[in-house]
Chain A
Amino acid sequence: MTILGLRNTWGVTGRGAALLALSGLALLLAPLVADRYLVSVLTTVLWFAYVGQAWNVMMGFSGLLSLGHALYVGLGAYASAALFIHFGIGPWAGALLAMLVAVAAGCGIGFLGFRFGVKGVHFALLTIAFAEVARVGFDHLQWLGGSGGFFLPVEAGVSDPLNLRGSPTLFYYVILALVLAALAISRLLLHSRLGYQWLAVREDAEAAEAVGVDLFHARMTAVAASSALTALGGVFQAFYFNNLFPEQVFSMGRSIEIILPAIVGGIGTLIGPILGAFILTPLGEGLTFLLEVSGLELPGLKQLFYGVALVVIVVFRPDGVWPWLASRLGLVRASGEGDER
């Protein structure tokens, strides 16, 4: 699978470390100089970086293609929102339960898929099917608002971080923290015994099994880790937007949006999903802006440009932008010089 690209995950040079640190610092200070609009764009960028990272654990690390990750976002969002609205449980505590719900769903899908030998594209179809079932199901779940939407109360001027209520800047820092945490967790996982086994399963399941890897266990843990992380993205989404519609939250389009950052940035790499999000969201926003100032009002034109841009990226950098950029700019040690993971 050429799409997987190099697994060169960390192994950064001094220059790479400096650039990453500088980027981190810039993100940390961004709300001090950015206006409201820019903060909201950056929040969106970071949200996609986060869920892209979470998806990457399944596809990038373990070779399990999920095209229904909106399911875990949606379950996380609805679970935390329901706990908040119906039981008065705050989002931080609710997040734990939301993650459990998503993990249960993920493990259910995983069990079906892995026990009955559903592989590759067929596994991907299974993940789509479950996301679609959830979309239709939640449409009819009146307890959670049904198709009319589920809303969280919005009070202007309230700052209550414990309940994840507050200014856009608060949400910006929360999602930034989530991105950094997901990055750290992904790196930790990748360097663990389990991580090595995931990579082995991704590369060649038969050979992995021959060296003692329990395929079922490896795949189930990957699904569990990915769905848990993704659910947290859903919790954030619920409390950031304050409204949830099954048609949006569980949509196929959302599932695709989730996987794009990793594909563009570099599947299986740690920085790839983050870089991908920083390419894609501004690209979309930039196109909107350009179309506005140019006065062109053709519906679908933005999507068309966006699609073309995506094709260009994927055709010319099939392994993702990060592996290419990193080696061009000397940000990572070239393979052969020793990749200290």
Chain B
Amino acid sequence: MSDALLTVDNLSKRFRGLKAVSNVTFTVPEGRILALIGPNGAGKTTSFNLIAGVFPPDEGTVTLKGQRLTGLKPNRVCAAGIGRTFQIVKPFGHLTVEENVVVGALARERSVETARRQARALLERLELADQAQRPARSLTLPDRKRLEVARALATRPTLLLLDEVLAGLRPTEVDRMVEVLRDLNRREGLTILMIEHVMRAVMALSDRVVVLDHGEKIADGSPADIVADPRVIESYLGAEEA
């Protein structure tokens, strides 16, 4: 456990009495890709929001490389090294694609010019360079998803939280995104925690999978173990194929 980058310990969150997340514990090892899966309403996005500081947990702690993040606001969590995307994309609509990413880069840069250079490099990498000067609101959904990733990466995170960046993409687009993510992970050692429904991508990318159901962790293991787990099949995988 000494190589854990992110440690989520006994995390719980209730909304008006409803337990959205209940005693969830897992770790994300440095340099790995961990997938968080489960049926709708399982508490995946709530867990993300607890990690990212959108709201504080009722119980439990979140630690990044030994630094306690619990209770920090999102901007402090970002400064600590966590970048995130939103399930429902949130581009800065009236700004250009490039400006969107510049804002991200300014999280660690004082100079706008330097931030712009970094933004351009990232747009190149996410294949958005030819759209750089268009208003972000004019992008198609797949491009908006990539913009989310580019903007989060611009904050130079040590851990990237991806909330369903593959949902709504066509198979070829999924493959392209998977390539980009794999590349970021392998070449730069970026640690990724992803919520994902596209099982093909989960199997292809993740080193480990954590399964949530009704706010509780029901399984935690290698992708091969997870797809063979009877509880997972019953609550999630089986239901999906039926």
Contact = CB atoms under 8 A, between A and B. Distances in A.
Contacts of A193: 106, 109-112, 115
Interface string B61-77: 00000000000011100
A304 to B, nearest CB: 34
Contact of B104 (A199, A203, A211): A211
B78 A210 contact: yes
A204 B79 CA distance: 19
Interface-central residue, B106, B109, B154, by most chain A CB under 10 Å: B106
B107 A212 contact: yes
Interface string A196-218: 11011001101111111111000
A254 interface: no
A200 B96 contact: no
B102 interface: yes
A207 B102 contact: no
Contact of B96 (A192, A204, A209, A339): A339
Contact of B102 (A4, A5, A196, A203): A196
Contacts of A211: 78, 83, 103-104, 107, 151-152, 154-155
A140 interface: no
Interface stretch (A129-137, A275-283, A330-338): A330-338
Nearest to A319: B94
B147 to A, nearest CB: 11
A7 B134 CA distance: 12
Interface residues of A, number: 29
A200 B96 CA distance: 11
A245 to B, nearest CB: 40
Nearest to A214: B75
A180 interface: no
Given A210-B86, A212-B75, A213-B75, 6 more contacts: A193-B109, A193-B110, A197-B103, A206-B74, A213-B107, A215-B75
A59 B196 CA distance: 38
B135 interface: yes
Given A196-B103, A209-B75, A335-B133, A204 B90 contact: yes
Contacts of B74: 206, 209-210
B197 interface: no
Contact of B103 (A208, A335, A336): A208
- Classify chain B: how many residues form its interface, as a range: 35 or more
Contacts of B94: 4-7, 199, 203, 268
A69 B94 CA distance: 25
Nearest to B52: A210
B95 interface: yes
Interface string A130-148: 0000000000000000000
A269 B107 CA distance: 25
A36 interface: no
Interface string B111-136: 11001000000000000000001110
Contacts of A268: 94
A204 B92 contact: yes
Contacts of A4: 94
A203 B104 CA distance: 14
A42 B183 CA distance: 61
A6 to B, nearest CB: 7
B112 A192 contact: yes
A313 to B, nearest CB: 21
B112 A6 contact: no
B168 interface: no
Interface string B166-192: 000000000000000000000000000
14 contacts: A193-B115, A199-B103, A200-B95, A203-B91, A204-B93, A206-B86, A210-B78, A211-B78, A211-B103, A211-B107, A212-B78, A212-B155, A213-B107, A335-B135
A211 B135 CA distance: 19
Interface in B22-78: 52, 54, 73-75, 78
Interface string B145-161: 00000011011000000
Interface-central residue, A193, A199, A203, A211, by most chain B CB under 10 Å: A211
A86 B217 CA distance: 72
Nearest to B111: A193
Nearest to A11: B133
A204 to B, nearest CB: 5
A191 interface: yes
Contacts of B84: 210
Given A193-B110, A200-B103, A335-B96, A207 B133 contact: no
